[in-house]
Amino acid sequence: MSGSTRSTVRVGIVGAGGIATGAHLPALRAVNEQAGRQRAAVVGIADLDPARAASTAAEHGIPAHFPSAEELLAATRPDLLIVCTPPGAHRSAVVAGLAAGAWVWCEKPPMLSLEEYDDVARLEREGGPYASYVVQHRFGSAAQHLRDQMSSGRVGRPLVSVCHTLWYRGHDYYDVPWRGKWATEGGGPAMGHGIHQMDLYLDLMGEWTEVTAVADAQDRTVETEDTSLAIVRFESGALGSIVNTVLAPRETSYLRFDFTNGTVEVEHLYGYTNDHWRYTPSPHLPEDQRDAWLPQASTASSHAAQLGELLDSMDRGERPRASGADGRRTLEFIAALYQSAETGRPVRRSDLTASGPYYTGMHDPAVAYPTADSPQARDDRPGGPPDPAAEAAAAAAPTAAPTGADAAHLPDDTILETSRG
């Protein structure tokens, strides 16, 4: 379909669960209504549960249903395949779609590892098909406008920022067998919940250089974390803090950006409109510049907003946003977050390699997260409570002071303090 405009894009859907019926099918209807014509039509739906595929097809007027992505692709030859499966099945469905010549739009998280992501990217071809991923918060008008204001310099230089995904998922949420497991979900709330806010946050803040993180299973009985916190450095010099948790009874999604010319905030839960954003200008700004940030367009963040732009990219035969290197950025950051949390050390972006446990997955199997049955695991990990005997031995050991070039740039009293770390 490279470079050509089709009257109707043929769409296949893999996965007939709640995200398909609650988000993607409404998004398809919305883009058709906005266009005033049938811009996209669902030609088939597949699910490992044939009864669910059949009932969803009947309820939504989908002409065909199948027990597998492969059968759907062979029978209907869609232009676009939408993947709505649990995370562990993303790779196989996306690979099948690209191999069949279909563009692919896949739910989050994109893949379970950077290795899987790179394997998929190698199947793309210039002009399409491409695989892109659902990160709908980038596509609301307020976020788009802030991005423009940052590029123009109108809001000034970014200094301090916050990205919080404070959600609540009860113990029963993890009764679903694939949730809370590294092999099938890929991670905890950093991977499956906070990924939406972090994607928008990183898209706005630009390239990151270093992350220092902690992660823990505080209350839920899971293999993964249920909470993570991170401090981030950006190429711009800005600093940021990130919190992801599923333990917050008062749920909120909150991003804050402090610039030299003002503060921009958004607080919502699962999606925002312009009304969820707030701008506080710096006191030094003249009155006639204080309303300049306000966006003129009014588009809510939504699957429909991203889908509309994806269909535009298909018409032009161009790589869509949230694909390729642009889609990889957030997954790369999450891998670094887990690496830092599990090793107890800051991770620079330049440290990341195409090998090792944080390339082939998001987790080093040698690291155990604490559970209700084994809370001691918290103390066994890097960064856990120190061993008093080891501390005493370290304090008693002689420490060589820096010399030569190492000492030349240190104040005299600093040299005496280096043994304290």
Give the pLDDT confidence of 297-309 residue by residue, as tens digits: 999 999 999 999 9
* pLDDT reading at 414 higher than 50: no
User: Considering its fold, how many domains does the chain have in total?
Assistant: 3
Cβ atoms of 366 and 374 within 8 Å: the answer is: no
Asked if 261 and 164 sit in the same domain, the reply is: yes
Token pair 């009764």 is at which residue?
175
Q: Cα(295)–Cα(321) distance, rounded to whole angstroms?
A: 21
Same domain, 120 and 63: yes
The band of 413, judged by pLDDT with boundaries at 50, 70 and 90, is: very low
Domain span at residue 45 reads 9-133
Task: Select from 112, 133, 154 the last residue of a domain.
Answer: 133
Residue 208 in tokens: 């990151």
pLDDT surpasses 80 at 416: no
91 shares its domain with 223: no
- Where do we find the tokens 């898209």? 203
Higher pLDDT among residues 215 and 286, named by residue = 215
3-class DSSP state of 343: helix
Same domain assignment for residues 168 and 276 = yes
Q: Are residues 121 and 198 both part of a single domain?
A: no
SS3 content of the chain, % helix, strand, coil (to 5): 40, 20, 40
- Residue 146 burial (CB count, 10 A): 24
User: Is residue 175 situated within a structural domain?
Assistant: yes
Looking up residue 83, the CATH number of its domain turns out to be 3.40.50.720
Is 336 inside any structural domain? Answer: no
pLDDT class of 275 with cuts at 50, 70, 90? very high
Q: Is residue 158 one of the residues assigned to a domain?
A: yes
Same domain, 142 and 129: no
Of 101, 133, 165, which marks where a domain is finished? 133
